[in-house]
A and B are shown apart, each in its own frame.
Chain A
């Protein structure tokens, strides 16, 4: 088919009779190539600056700092209207600043602007010496210490525990064991029933010899996590996002958003070996959490013991923790006040997007406020 020929489905641009002849400016191929090259070069140089971009800018103070974590307290933005403080438990995967990635998409800032008193556990990077740190340490030591600090500072006897992803699972474990300190449990994409998980991560975890990995390597190395990430939507997200960057390279806002997410994606600390062994072996492979057979030290995690108000927030398009994996939590607990909120977005879109600011956070805030007096 030559340039002049048309396929049957193509409409010919017919010149209406009597109208003056239109001159259609054909794009100059050489100019286009030149322009594409300029954009490509600009993208290449900008990508090198991703590490310098600022994130997590909502003002906060470090209340406690240990080898394992920093407990942050965010400065209030409006007068406090909710009596119950919120303690955010972030995951052990990547860094917590995704919850405060940029001012117009900050989960933390939105909660502050709704009158909540917000605290966050910012996990530090484990070193090879932390190989034997387990969920028992994270839940019964670190989270418990943070809960006690917040309760003491705010002079209340209970708080709202608010976890994301792996942090949501840890928050749930904590609530089963220390319910007397928890007023509400609000979880985002918790990993619960892994047999129902339909993600690539769940599939790869099934045949991983995690005992051998921990014995030989120790902590889960960042490279292994990158390998897992690269198997998630490898072309639609992994490749296509760079085409979009090049196309939008002159759009400052687009580039800023892109670089912040990119920085977060590649800011992947290792995971403590023993914790990873439990995460993959006990939770993903044996599904012990949903069977109420998971043990932290000598204590059994029995989800049916949870009777505090529960809010479970899941994303329909989540390709890291499928909604089918998170939703069963509501059936497992004994709480009478429980709610499952589903949103049409993805794992990160749920917490760090304009969609989240406009659709998710107002509803979450409303639910929390009604139970925070």
Chain B
């Protein structure tokens, strides 16, 4: 009796209100699948990485602010050199420009003054340091943008630049190993021939 009740109950559950269990499962799993959909697409990847993206953009802002500070210092040095050159030009150049020679002398004086001022600047330790800092900040900006782009490469299932870099490094090292092996074989052959 018990077993026949169980069979009946099972049949009931299999065909609940005219639906088979399979149909019901499909009906429910449809919504489950819909909710899972972003996990295989870029949207999910973006939503998963949202914190990381936000952090990247904050960092980008920071390095851009640093770049601006360094660029301001750079332009301050350049402007000071320019002002110095202009002052020198005024002192060295003819006071009035009336003849062709006056213009020629003005040009010469200006070239000399600007050359002196800017060469002195470019050869100074201060300029070298700020130029280095500015260049470094520019690289930081590029690095941050690259970091964001690399995440997108992952989203698209493409190898990232770092991964391609690793392969290039491996290829370069392999080439060197092949070269060294070839050389050692040649050396062994030569030694073998002479002995």
Contact = CB atoms under 8 A, between A and B. Distances in A.
Given A129-B168, A239-B111, 17 more contacts: A132-B172, A133-B172, A136-B176, A137-B175, A141-B179, A203-B123, A203-B128, A204-B122, A209-B136, A212-B140, A216-B143, A217-B139, A231-B122, A234-B122, A235-B114, A236-B111, A236-B115
A243 interface: yes
A260 interface: no
Interface string A203-215: 1101111001101
A213 B135 contact: yes
Closest 7 CB pairs of A and B: A207-B132, A132-B172, A235-B115, A235-B114, A231-B122, A209-B136, A200-B122
A198 B157 CA distance: 50
A222 B44 CA distance: 40
B10 to A, nearest CB: 66
A129 B170 CA distance: 12
Nearest to B172: A132
A27 interface: yes
Contact of A297 (B135, B140, B176): B176
Interface in A128-155: 129, 131-134, 136-137, 140-141
Interface of B: 95-96, 98, 100, 107, 111, 114-115, 118-119, 122-125, 127-129, 131-133, 135-136, 139-140, 142-143, 146, 165, 168-169, 171-173, 175-176, 179
B122 A132 contact: no
A3 interface: yes
A243 B100 contact: no
A208 B124 CA distance: 14
Contacts of A57: none
B122 A213 contact: no
A14 interface: no
9 contacts: A136-B176, A137-B175, A203-B125, A213-B135, A231-B122, A233-B115, A235-B115, A235-B118, A236-B115
A182 to B, nearest CB: 18
Contacts of A75: none
A32 B100 CA distance: 9
Interface of A: 1, 3, 27, 32, 129, 131-134, 136-137, 140-141, 198, 200, 203-204, 206-209, 212-213, 215-217, 231, 233-236, 239-240, 243, 274, 297
Contacts of B168: 129, 131-132
A206 B111 contact: no
Contacts of B125: 203, 206
A3 B146 contact: no
Contacts of B143: 212, 215-216
Contact of A234 (B100, B118, B135, B172): B118
Contacts of A204: 122, 128, 131-132
A297 B131 CA distance: 31
Given A132-B172, A216-B143, A200 B119 contact: yes
A234 B176 contact: no
B107 A243 contact: yes
Nearest to A136: B176
B129 A132 contact: no
A140 B165 contact: no
Contact of A207 (B95, B107, B133): B133
Nearest to B169: A132
B122 A131 contact: no
A336 B98 CA distance: 63
B139 A213 contact: yes
Given A235-B111, A235-B118, A206 B165 contact: no
Contacts of B165: 131
A302 to B, nearest CB: 20
Contacts of B132: 204, 206-209
A212 B179 contact: no
B139 A212 contact: yes
B73 to A, nearest CB: 13
A207 B131 contact: yes
A303 to B, nearest CB: 23
B123 A200 contact: yes
Nearest to A198: B123
A203 B122 contact: yes
A133 B131 CA distance: 27
A248 to B, nearest CB: 14
Given A132-B168, A203-B122, A212 B136 contact: yes
Contacts of A216: 139, 142-143, 146
Contacts of B175: 137, 141
A137 B176 contact: yes
A197 to B, nearest CB: 11
